[in-house]
Amino acid sequence: MELENRKYLQEELCNDLEELIQDNQQYLSYLRFEELDSSYSEKLRTTITTFERKYWLEQVRQKQSHFRELLQMLSKLVHLENQKVDLERLVGNVQQELDELQRDLRHWQQTRLAELEKWKLAIDAWLTRSSFQLSKNQYHKLLYCIDNLLETEEREEVVLSPLTVSYQETLKKEQLALVPLEARLEENQTKIADIQLEIEEWQGQKAPKPYQHEGRKSNRKSWSDKAKYVLFYEGVDFQANVTEEERNRIEGALFTSGILDSVISEEMLQLADDWMIKSNPQLMSSTLASVLTVNSDLPLELQSQVANVLDSIFYNEMNPMIDLPIIHQDGRFQIANLSGEMPVDYQASFIGVASQERYRQEQIKRLKTDILQLEEANQELSTQIREQKQKLQSIEEAYQERPRGTEVYQTYMETKILALALTAKEKELTIKNAELSTLQQQLLMIKTHITEKAAGDQLNQKEETYEEALQYALNYEQNLHEAFSKSSELDRQQEMLETIASHVSNYQEEELSLLDKVSVLIGEITKLERLLKENEAQQQIINVAEPTAKLMAATEEQRQCQQEIKQLNQEQIKLEKARTKITGDIEHEDLQLVLLIKLESNWRALFEKELQRFNLPSTDLLMIAKEQGKELNVKELKRLEDRFSNQFGFIADQLQSYRPELVNVSGVDLSAEEEQGLGEFASFNHNKEPRFLEDGQLTTTSELLERLKDQRLTLQELLKKDDEQLFKKVILESVGKVLRIRIQQAQQWVAQMNELLQEQKNSSGLSLSISWKGVSANSEHDLSTNQLVRLLEKPTELLSDDDREVVSRHFQEKVRLAQEQLHNEPDDRSTLFQAIASVLDYRDWFEFELKYKRANEGYQPQPLTDRRFNQFSGGEKAIAMYLPLFAATYSRYEDAGEQCPRVITLDEAFAGIDDQNIAELFKACEQLNFNYVMNSQALFGDYPTVSKLAIYELLRPQNVNFVTTIRYYWDGQKKHLLTGGEELV
């Protein structure tokens, strides 16, 4: 019965296993396990090993890991794409805000420009009605300051500083103009007050007094009150018969001679800046007593003294006998040998009451007239002062009413705020764009990785597709586990069926044997029962101690056996677990062994292929690997890869006709799935190899090299016969002719340079010369330059065979050295053509030697070595450098056409040279007919040796952000300042 049940169960297990196998078929299109599933499913139906089960599961789990990895990458891709959308939207918003800020900034900049123009127009309108004006320079400076607000920020007071300066200057000027007016007004008022006092004095005086010096006044005040004296004009009066005209002349003569204000006294008075008349009466002569009388108001003793004095002065006397003063009728006078004449239009004012009163009234009238004039002047001054103050007030009001730049600065603040916001927004946009670029690169990388990794899946690269694929893989694995379980159960059932069948057979045999034994035992039992009954009576009598002891011993033995069985069961469990672990390790090692065997096979195939590619023997691969093996160095591999790329680029340029290209080559042909489990072998299995197209077929480097070698040998054989003859013909005829012409031209050029250098004079007496010397031979096969030039200058038909052989051998040696240099220096990018061109470059056959000689020194020109050059002065060094350059440049320009501009430029021209040598160098430039552009910190070029020159002086005041120029013109004699739109002629 049990056997039938187990057969039925086995049939059910087979059906379940087949269903699981069939269920997995639906997942194969996603897992790409058609071949594996077909093979291993068949094994599962029959017999499958534990290793094969583990390998099958390992492949499924690798596929699951592959799907999970791709799913993570796809999830990350979706996440990054969402981030990209959000970031692009954010970038768009920031860009929109940036555009708005730029639009607002342009608007405010335009507004600012408009406000600046309004401000300038307002200033122009204000200037038309302003009480003060700006100078032309101040006005331009003000406009410049306003326009400069477009670039820099300046305070309003700084911008309006030209206007403020003009206001202050005008205000100061007008205030200074007001000061003398007020001073004059105050002075006139003081004069009026003084004149009023003087009028009051005149009005209070009985008799006027002649003008007296302060010394005379103080001297007379020092005399005692008891002193008896009288002044001449106080002690006399005109006689009634004297006419007015005579009175004027007589008093005029007395006034001029000093007698009029002299002192008359008999006392010895102290005289300081004063006159005293001593009496010496001349009664028999014509004296002043004839026209003057003594004032009767005087004391009697003074009247006699006055009368004597009048008699002591001659009047209109000609040639008197005594040397006394003479007063003439026409206004002349004579005192001893001193003579004089009265002032013109003098009026008598001090002698006589009538004269004195008239003079006093005239003085009062004159002073009043002066007061009237001063008052009129004061009125005019007051008017001018009032006008000047009004002008100052109008200037102040005009300045206070000056147009302000409030709107301009408001627009500036708005512009500044927007510029700061714009900068911040641009920075934000830059950061966002950088983030977007980084995100796009990440997207590109992950898409590339996804594409590469999913290349063999043949699935739609969508997240839901791979989620479904992963679920299918999990379902497939679950079905495998169930299938393995069913298969194991099926195997166990099969074993049990076999065991049961075996047991049934054994049991049947045992049954027959037992039946026989049963029959025997029944007989024995019957016999024993009988014997038992017979012995029952005797058992009561027999001692039962011995059976009891045996029974107890058997019981104890049974207990110990059970305990040992229990320990053995536990030990069996431990051994089962150890066996399971060891079995798992063996299966893992079996998998690793399979992988290593596969890797060893692939490495061997790759190694053999590489040896075959380089035509190397492959007898003992292990020994060759040990000899050639090196430690992995990633940096060295990278360096070699870069060098390979550079070398290939160079080769590609040289072999363009073969269309070289780099192709990816696999050493061992493996599928993508096979390479996935081989680790780093996959990277070594692929490399880049150059391929060349020849005759329509791709060839390898070694194949092309062999063919080129064959072609080279063939060409060498073909060219060997005529090579030497052709070489001689080319060198001696075509190339030799060109070399001869070039060398002759160079020699003529050197001669011209030498002639120019000899003509140049300078203050230090330094003369220069130059020579072109041939270099010596480098080897015994080479010719010296002089020998080679001598042979090349000969006509070819006059050259002997020996000469031809020598020249040919010389150049063949040079070409051979060039070829060896190219061969020994593979990194050199020069071509053979360039090397041969270098060999034929005649300039390398010669060298220049510069010589010098000082005036009044007897030695011959000496070579100018570095040591001798360093002994020169600064001016001599400059001459030694400039003159050869000028001469060389001039010689080169001589080869050009007549219309060719002969221009030279010098930076920091003639620095460190004295003026005399600078003048000589300018003279050299003039003689060589150079046009020149030079700059210098101090040099103006206004030397007599310069015929004409345009000069620009650059100014940059106080580190401002612009440079202005001052233009001059040197006409050979004088430097002229150019202003406005003057043009140079």
CA pair distance 203, 835, nearest whole angstrom: 128
101 vs 428: CA distance, rounded Å: 13
- Return phi, psi of residue 700, to 5°: -85, 175
Contact 491, 44 (CB under 8 A): no
Query: pLDDT category, 905, cuts 50, 70, 90?
Result: very high
Higher pLDDT, residue 6 or 122: 122
CB 835 within 8 A of CB 814: no
Asked if 863 and 769 touch (Cβ cutoff 8 Å), the reply is no
863-878 residue pLDDT tens = 878 777 777 777 777 7
Average pLDDT over residues 161-177: 86
Which of 295-299, 818-822, 898-902 has the weakest average pLDDT? Answer: 818-822
Q: What is the pLDDT of residue 608?
A: 74
Q: Which two tokens stand for residue 466?
A: 């791979």
Give the residue among 404, 269, 257 at the shortest CA–CA distance from 333.
257
Q: What is the pLDDT of residue 733?
A: 63
CA distance 231 to 237: 12
Percent of the chain with pLDDT over 70: 74
For residue 678, the model assigns a pLDDT of: 65
Predicted confidence (pLDDT) per residue in 744-787, tens digit? 777 777 787 777 777 766 666 777 887 777 766 666 656 676 77
910 has a pLDDT exceeding 60: yes
Query: How far apart (Å, rounded) are the C-alpha atoms in residues 484 and 52?
Result: 11
pLDDT for 709 equals 80
Comparing 285-299, 496-510, 586-600, 794-808, which segment has the lowest mean pLDDT? 496-510
Report phi then psi at 252, rounded to 5: -60, -40
Q: Does position 501 have pLDDT exceeding 70, yes or no?
A: no
Please, what is the average pLDDT of the chain?
77
The per-residue DSSP string of 758-785 comes to HH---TT-EEEEEEEEEPPPSSTTSPPH
Helix axes 34-45, 463-539, angle to 10 degrees: 10
pLDDT of residue 543 exceeding 60, the answer is no
Question: pLDDT per residue over 434-474, tens digit each?
Answer: 888 888 888 888 888 888 777 777 777 777 887 877 787 78
Q: Tell me the per-residue pLDDT of 340-394, one tens digit each, with 9 for 90 and over.
A: 988 888 887 778 777 777 777 887 888 888 889 988 888 988 998 888 888 888 8
**Among candidates 221, 216, 234, which has minimal Cα distance to 275?**
216
pLDDT above 80: residue 529: no
- Which band of pLDDT confidence, cut at 50, 70 and 90, is reported for residue 505? low
- Report pTM: 0.36
What pLDDT score was predicted for residue 275? 84
Res. 104: pLDDT tops 80: yes
Nearest alpha carbon to residue 920 among 890, 882, 950: 882
Answer for the pair 210, 260: CB distance below 8 angstroms, yes or no: yes
The 3-class secondary structure across 431-480, one letter per residue, is: HHHHHHHHHHHHHHHHHHHHHHHCCCCCCCCCHHHHHHHHHHHHHHHHHH
pLDDT at 811: 72
Comparing 251-260, 848-857, 935-944, which segment has the lowest mean pLDDT?
A: 848-857
| Helical residues (DSSP H) of 205-312, grouped into ranges | 214-221, 232-235, 244-257, 300-311
Who wins on pLDDT, 658 or 299?
Answer: 299
Task: Provide the pLDDT for residue 507.
Answer: 58
Angle at Cα 338 formed by Cα 335 and Cα 344, nearest 5°? 90
Please say if the pLDDT value at position 985 is more than 50.
no
Give mean pLDDT, residues 277-284.
83
Domain ranges across the chain: 225-351
By CB atoms closer than 10 A (0-12, 13-18, 19+), residue 398 is: middle
Mean pLDDT of 824-835: 60
Asked if pLDDT for residue 301 goes beyond 70, the answer is yes
Summarize the confidence of residues 906-911 as an average pLDDT.
Answer: 84
Query: What pLDDT is recorded for position 8?
Result: 62
- The predicted structure's pLDDT at residue 551: 66
Least confident of 3-12, 736-745, 836-845: 3-12
* 949 has pLDDT over 60: yes
> Is residue 40 over pLDDT 80?
no
Q: What is the pLDDT of residue 933?
A: 92
In this model, does residue 912 exceed pLDDT 80?
no
968 contacts 962 by C-beta, under 8 angstroms: no
Distance between CA atoms of 776 and 76, rounded to whole angstroms?
75
Distance CA 913, CA 919 (A): 10
More confident residue, 504 or 190: 190
Q: Residue by residue, what is the 3-state secondary structure of 204-223? A: HCCCCCCCCCHHHHHHHHCC
- The pLDDT of residue 299 is 84
663 DSSP β-pair partners = 689
